[in-house]
Structure 1
Amino acid sequence: MPFFKDVFKRLRFLQIFWMLHLSPPPTQVPQTAFVSRGQKVRNVVSYIDTKCRELFIPGRDICIDESTVGFKGRIIFKCYNPQKPTKWGMRVFVLADCETGYVSAIVPYFGSPTTDSLLRPDMPFSSRIVLHLCETLLQTTNGHGFHLFTDRFYTGYDLAMELLKIKIHLTGTVMANRRGLPAPVKQGLKLKKNESVSFSKDNNVMVLGWKDKRLVLMLSTFHGSDCEKVQRTIKRGEIQELDKPSVICDYTSKMGAVDRADHYCASYAFTRKSLKWWRKMFFWLLEVAIVNSAILFNLMKVESGQLPVRHKTFRKDLLVQLVGNVRNPGSRKRGRPSSTDREERLNEKPHFIAKMKERAPKTVQCAVTERQKGEERDCMVLQNLLKAARVAPR
């Protein structure tokens, strides 16, 4: 496209791209490679993570899920998740707003250093990461009364009770072998299709089992066991009406916020192959910042009574505003080309070889191109140097 060519050349872009550098925070204590595993991106992660919470306070419904930054290099904290579109890469735990998909908090996973830095070492890692993200959100927003949605990797009875202490409700799918669940749930529920059963514990936690194609277990401190009428399209376009628990309907509509944010980040992502993991992490953080800014821009559009813009249109407008009036002047000069050969320097320009008009019996070897004697072509730079020194070629 002419736009990119007018801004700067490809070689100049590659120079800037490969000179990108991230500096770790200064420290007086020497650290080993194991402890300082994620120090290189610590500054940029902390800056973007803090700015995301300062500029926007999420609504009541929030969700926590993990995202994957694609990378297949040799790093000790590389993870594999077959359920994600990007299966190999670095794991990042994300807290997002369910209504808009706005990313409010992020925690990259670097292995044991990340685990040791989390709160509540007496609890499992899946609960500690949720408490850490929620505490970070509460410290910045000074709010309470959030409704958190999680999948079965995080949901548990102990986590639900800890979240109630900080006035956060929890809803999510749960595994049957979690500690604190009722005995019939652990022994295995035998239900018919579209049949549900619920249990209550401590008058705060509700555990519900519902079978459609397979058994689904839900844990919630916000919902009850009530059901609602839903319509489903079956074979030959027929509409079937059935009773479905409200907790499952609410979970299905609210849980995909992190996946939506990943979809926005991957739509027009600047992804390039790289051997450096921190470069991949930096550009993923840049995509998160762009997506969050697009969401805030559309929210302001809606509040002012205007129509929201598409994600692609926002990126184009953002690119034009960032570039401004910067344009790269053309390398070719106007006017007629010179009829005589002129000296070509070797600083950032190609070194051309011209054919000799009158071939001498022997030619001088060029020190730049290492042409051998007896060839038909010689270097114009060497000719001009010889003329200036008044030395004729042999």
Structure 2
Amino acid sequence: MYWSKTLRFPAITKRFTRDRFFRLRQSLKVLIDDDVPEDLKERDQFWKVRPFLNRILKGCKSQARPECVSIDEQMIPFTGACPYRQYLPMKPNPVGIQNFVCATADGIVLDFEIYQGAPALLEQVEEPGDLGLGGLVIDRLSQTLHPNTKVYCDRFFISIQVVERMMKKQIYVTGTVMKNRVAAAVQKLPNDKTMKKKGRGTSAQVTTEDGKICVVKCEPEDTCQRWDKKRKRYVTISRPSIVREYNSKMGGVDLVDRMMSYYRMSGRTKKWTLRMLMYFMDLALANSWLLYRKDLTVCGTPKKDIMQFLEFRMEVAMTFLAQYANDSSDFSVQEDDPDVLVQGKRRPVKAVPHVSFRRKANAHLPEVAKLKNAAHCRAKGCSVKIRVQCVTCKVFLCLQADRNCYTAFHT
């Protein structure tokens, strides 16, 4: 699409051709296979992309831990051959790689664990006991949480054993639960038929003897607006406060999923490694934009001055493309450049690098080029001829006692 005549995108087409793009994508690797020990290959099914995943995970773990978090699962869409590919028919993307995520209520990812069997989780959990898969996931993802954190999750993760285990770590779990996991409590609660007769908003509760665990259908209540199909209008009904808390705190993982789905990298590929790289790059971009929006909102920036997600992605892409242009060996000739002729032809002049590249903490060291004729200084407003150029930027800049364009250009 980017290279088509009708939808041509100059920011990309001027950097490389379509064939070069696919050649680069086909040859993309994260590490050298021979450098990975055999025992690591046996323990980690995703060792081919592990350094990249660890870098994304490091950024997620560096975020501040709030009082309330949610834990849920994601599906990395992929239908090709892959270790531990899952099929979950109730998901929007039923076939793919399962990823368990811990996120804040506003969608910022704090931690994640790619599923590759229960044994891999058992190695990361101390004294797992009789915890099921959901309990192992919560134990693993809660290792970086602070005491007194409230964790919200769905029925896949919740059981009495999990709640008791987390309480010992001063982490409090709230979520929906399957009836067969709280059979004793279900016997003491009114059945569904009885509660249906009492009408919408009816609630009840059962607590343990010590009062620490509660299976809820009754607590201090508030009211909410719900649509009534029979009356065809909104009605006010009572709602347990725990339901309100769950609904407000549980959607963090779904929010980051929605952000990633808007502009997902959807290139066709049979390589699961490439799919993982594209997916977690999308995750990093979504996380970065949510943090960017949160910071500017806290600072009181007007909403109209905050970049939208697509604009933010484009800004990141343009920064990397500018760095690629300065790293490549391609030159562009500017016909109106007053530079001297070399053997009857104009010397090809490199484009001025992007400001993000010039201020990058690289070794911007000067060197004297062996030129027969001096070149013009590329700093704006300067026409001095000079033979000094930057080793990194490959741009000629004057470096004199009374005029230092070299320092001004890089700062």
Q: TM-score scaled by structure 2?
A: 0.70
Structure scoring higher RCO (CA < 8 A, sep ≥ 6) equals: 1
Residues 30 and 324 from structure 1, CA distance in 2 versus in 1: closer, same or farther, beyond 3 angstroms? closer
In the other structure, the counterpart of 1:324 is 322
What's the CA shift for 1:112? Answer: 4.7
In the other structure, the counterpart of 2:115 is 109
1:305 has 2:300 as partner: yes
Residues 273 and 113 from structure 1, CA distance in 2 versus in 1: closer, same or farther, beyond 3 angstroms? farther
1:239 has 2:243 as partner: no
Per the alignment, in what secondary structure is the counterpart of residue 324 of structure 1? Answer: helix
CA displacement, residues 281-334 of structure 1 (integer Å, 9 cap, x when unaligned): 111111111111111111221232213321111112222222227286579x99
Contact 2:40/2:47 (<8 A) preserved: no
1:191 has 2:199 as partner: no
1:5 has 2:8 as partner: no
In the other structure, the counterpart of 2:169 is 166
Contact 2:122/2:136 (<8 A) preserved: no
Pairing partner for 1:175 from 173, 178, 202: 178
Pairing partner for 2:26 from 18, 31, 35: 18
CA displacement, residues 180-217 of structure 1 (integer Å, 9 cap, x when unaligned): 752516995542232211011121111013xxxxxxxx
Structure 1 unpaired stretches of 5+: 210-223, 335-394
Letter of the structure 2 residue corresponding to residue 191 of structure 1: M
C-alpha root-mean-square deviation of aligned residues, in Å? 2.8
Larger radius of gyration: 1
Distance 2:48 2:123 in 1: 16
Distance 1:170 1:51 in 2: 25
Residues 75 and 130 from structure 1, CA distance in 2 versus in 1: closer, same or farther, beyond 3 angstroms? same
Once the two structures are aligned, what percentage of the paired residues are identical? 23
In the other structure, the counterpart of 1:252 is 247
Residues 117 and 166 from structure 1, CA distance in 2 versus in 1: closer, same or farther, beyond 3 angstroms? same
1:295 has 2:290 as partner: yes
Distance 2:286 2:36 in 1: 36
Residues 183 and 87 from structure 1, CA distance in 2 versus in 1: closer, same or farther, beyond 3 angstroms? closer
Residues 134 and 111 from structure 1, CA distance in 2 versus in 1: closer, same or farther, beyond 3 angstroms? same
Contact 1:25/1:39 (<8 A) preserved: no
Matched ranges for 1:18-57 at <5 A = 18-23=26-31, 30-31=38-39, 34-54=42-62, 56-57=63-64
Q: Is the deviation greater in 24-33 or in 82-91?
A: 24-33
Residues 107 and 271 from structure 1, CA distance in 2 versus in 1: closer, same or farther, beyond 3 angstroms? same
Residues 322 and 29 from structure 1, CA distance in 2 versus in 1: closer, same or farther, beyond 3 angstroms? closer
Structure 2 unpaired stretches of 5+: 1-8, 337-411
Distance 1:286 1:230 in 2: 39
Distance 2:150 2:32 in 1: 36
Per the alignment, in what secondary structure is the counterpart of residue 300 of structure 1? Answer: helix
Aligned length: 313
Residues 319 and 196 from structure 1, CA distance in 2 versus in 1: closer, same or farther, beyond 3 angstroms? same
Per the alignment, in what secondary structure is the counterpart of residue 91 of structure 2? Answer: coil
What's the CA shift for 1:105? Answer: 0.4
